[in-house]
Structure 1
Amino acid sequence: MSFLQTYPQTLSDAELENLYHKAVKDPASLSRSEKNAIKSAPPPDVEDALCVQHCGLTMEALFAKGLADPMSLTEAEASIICVGANLPTSEAIKLKRQERDRRPSWFNDLMWEALQAITTPESMQVRKGAYEKYRVWRRRHMAGKRLWIRMLEQQFNTGEADKWGFALFRTGFEERDGWKTLRKVIHERAMSMIRTVGAQDIADRFAIHYVENDNLSGAGGKELRQHFTTLRDKIPKGIRTDLFLSADNAVIAQAERGQPCVLLWDADFHDEGGEASREGHDEQSTSSIERLISPMYAEIMERRSPRVSYNQGIGS
């Protein structure tokens, strides 16, 4: 199972270089702790604790199971063998790539030599079997997901997006309690709809970027679009930038009455002769909270358009 993982490295580059040379020269002399350091895996005690937490087995027991019958591995067990006991996030993967990129090529070449040196035929066999089982689980998992959800997951995995959701401007300031109610209801109904459409795996990435500015009290479309233009590069990557939401006094009052909705604005609408900037789009419309998630978000994601419609960050 000798492959590069993503656990934060505690050794200095000089210490790692010495360890790599030791591995290339005499891999049999290495302790498990040293091998884990080469693989960027957690220390053995941490690795075993994580492994037991996720699947009830230590790494040694999991290795033995994978060697004896890889097709008996559970999804969690196969995942641990394939990517490590700390089950890395996309952010951890990105940091590991950045760490590798800052080092000279000879250092990375030496690292791969060390990894090859500590790789045994048994570990290769276990990892190959686990990978085949992992692919089976992954295909089943993805097959049941809608296209737009898979597209979002891909953006998160590549670092193209950190969040998904909308910016919402508050333009009504008469109802303090109503505003709290609206925010609460938006969250509850959005989470409910996310579960309904099977997007619970990315629920923690959903966000409403609230903008509260007294200067926007009573603001209309033109003023909101101007403000949104200055905000586009400052909101989290992935928040929609082709449209935004707002809540005036009437919207906030409706939330108090149990009829929550939001105002939906086309960010790039140009009122030239009364025609919208994009065919089929009005300057402003009203939307339920649920409709923001589905079908609208699905339609936005799956619409094949060359125009960038989500915030990719400054310099992207």
Structure 2
Amino acid sequence: MAPDLKALFQRVAATADPTSVTRAERNQIYRLPPPDEEDRLCKEKTGFTMDELKKKAMADPETLTEVETFIIILGATHDVHIPGSGSSTLLWKMGLVDDEHQLARQVHHLLSNEYDIEVHRRAQKRARAFDDVKKARKAQKRQELVAAQAARIRASRPQWVNHMFDAQLPQWGFVIFRTAYSEGTDEKWRVFNGIFGTTVIQVFHKHWRIAASLSSTHVPIAVSDPLLEAADLETLRQRFKAMRERNEIPNRIATDCLLVADRAGPSEPDPWQNTLFLRAVNPDYDASAPNPSDEDLSGYEGVITIPLPKAVDWLYYCFFANSEDWETRYKVVKGGAAEQMVSTGSICFLN
């Protein structure tokens, strides 16, 4: 503390009448400009002198502007473009030694009065109101940005992906039956399950990038039972329907289609470079039922063969949305893009 300032503090501390301390002395103690300069700055920024501004705070604090509020709190030197600028007792007290701290506390206690305390209390309350408004606007802006981003993502997704997201599926997938149990097929079955999971990730992370989270809820039910060695379709259908009747198939796992892995795993040296093919079976197929259309469905026995990637987008969505019947699916894989995928063996994706 400078010698002349310390002398002022000591003189004020010794006075018996705090009202005898002039405004100029008060301003010097509180690190404020001289009264004339303070009023000039205050009027320049608010249209009021400091005394008039305090009276406004007492009479109608709800009409204080943000600038007026912070000039009362931080002084006339406060600049709205520089947060925290102005007078701060805490800041200049940081440079005081112990005896000076005690002297400063004594003087500030002596000079404090109910009027100034109430003026500052009302200004602080008004400042909190401004802060609440800013926080609310910031939160609203953040919500608008999030909503706009969500809208952009939704607009860029295919409709079927949006339907899947809208359903908020806790899990989804198919029941998959293993039908090969000869020596060496355990390892192939393990590899098959790994490829299946990796394919789901590839489909939703690489092709449907904005649908990546769907892969985390894909939970297929893998059935591995040696009693199903080389099982025919009728055996698999009966086993599946028994599971369905006993409520062993979790909600949102397809109950009107089962998948069959005829080989327990790939035979190629590098299975990651080739897709696998599965049979998708209608568990309720009835060969004696009449043909629902006039079209030739010869060769259709309630089963279609599809490349693995199609089981996790096109095929599942068919059942999820109930958008196609089995005869339509058969015609799709027989004469459309799916047949080309089966014949070429390349990994293709639903457009």
Structure number with larger C-alpha Rg: 2
Larger relative contact order (C-alpha < 8 A, sep ≥ 6)?
Answer: 1
TM-score (normalised: structure 1): 0.49
TM-score (normalised: structure 2): 0.45
